[in-house]
Amino acid sequence: MKILLHVCCGPCSTASVERLREKGYDVVLFFPNSNIYPEGEWEKRLENARKIAELHGLELVVGEYDHSAWREFVRGLENEKEGGARCLRCFEFNLAKTAKKARELGIENFTTTLTVSRFKNSSQIAEVGRVVGARIGVNFLEHDFKKQGGFEKSVELAKKFDLYRQNYCGCEFSLRN
């Protein structure tokens, strides 16, 4: 079964890609992530996503970087704490981009590496994914990649492949924190 995987960064994609491939999915990677600031950081994370694509021989589709559009989408939520309403909007932004890209590519399913993070609530991500998928007409497949040691595995593989590991979530508000 083909699936478009939203990749938030290289380290998070390591264990997620392995898990999906073990389950027999035909994985295509998608890197949008206009939430990431500054653009140089987006490029660094993209570079890591390219490494993972090359390691597994997978196609990587790169989205347009438009941080202004993301800022507009989260307007009014700038001072929210990490894990709050701004993050839900942020998930919606990237998951809607992924669902639209999946539809454009004729891929019926999508999911996200975001659930590998122990700092993110996988149920909230899945809820946003289901709503967005229903709206756009693509199936969101719920995979909680942090389960069964997925987070620890992503740390181990990131070291093994010598990937850059960022120390903030992505946007300027998380950088400030």
Short-list 131, 112, 110, CA closest to 120? 112
Q: Does 173 engage in binding with ligand SF4 (CB under 6 A)?
A: yes
State the nearest-atom distance from the C-beta of 32 to ligand SF4, in Å.
Answer: 12
Interaction pattern, residues 36-75, with ligand SF4; x per rule: CB under 6 A: ----------------------------------------
Residue from 3, 20, 87, 102 binding ligand SF4 (CB under 6 A): 87
Q: Does 115 bind ligand SF4 (CB under 6 A)?
A: no
- How many chain residues bind ligand SF4 (CB under 6 A)? 10
Cβ neighbours of residue 43 closer than 8 Å, sequence gap 6 or more: none
Shortest distance, position 142 Cβ to ligand SF4, whole Å: 18
Q: 120: which residues sit within 8 A by CB, 6+ positions away?
A: 83, 87, 114
Of the two residues 25 and 143, which places its CB atom closer to ligand SF4 in the complex? 143
- Tell me which residue has tokens 């850059």: 164
What whole-number distance in Å separates Cα of residue 7 and Cα of residue 170? Answer: 13
* DSSP single-letter state for residue 8: S
169 binds ligand SF4 (CB under 6 A): yes
Closest CA relative to residue 31, chosen from 55, 57, 3, 7: 7
Task: Select from 20-28, 82-90, 101-109, 133-141 the region that touches ligand SF4 (CB under 6 A).
Answer: 82-90
Which of 35, 48, 113, 154 binds ligand SF4 (CB under 6 A)? It is 35
Question: Per CB under 6 A, does 86 bind ligand SF4?
Answer: yes
Are residues 172 and 66 in contact, defined by beta-carbon separation less than 8 angstroms? Answer: no
Q: How many Cβ atoms from other residues are within 10 Å of residue 83's Cβ?
A: 13
Residues at the interface with ligand SF4 (CB under 6 A): 35, 82, 86-87, 90, 169-171, 173-174
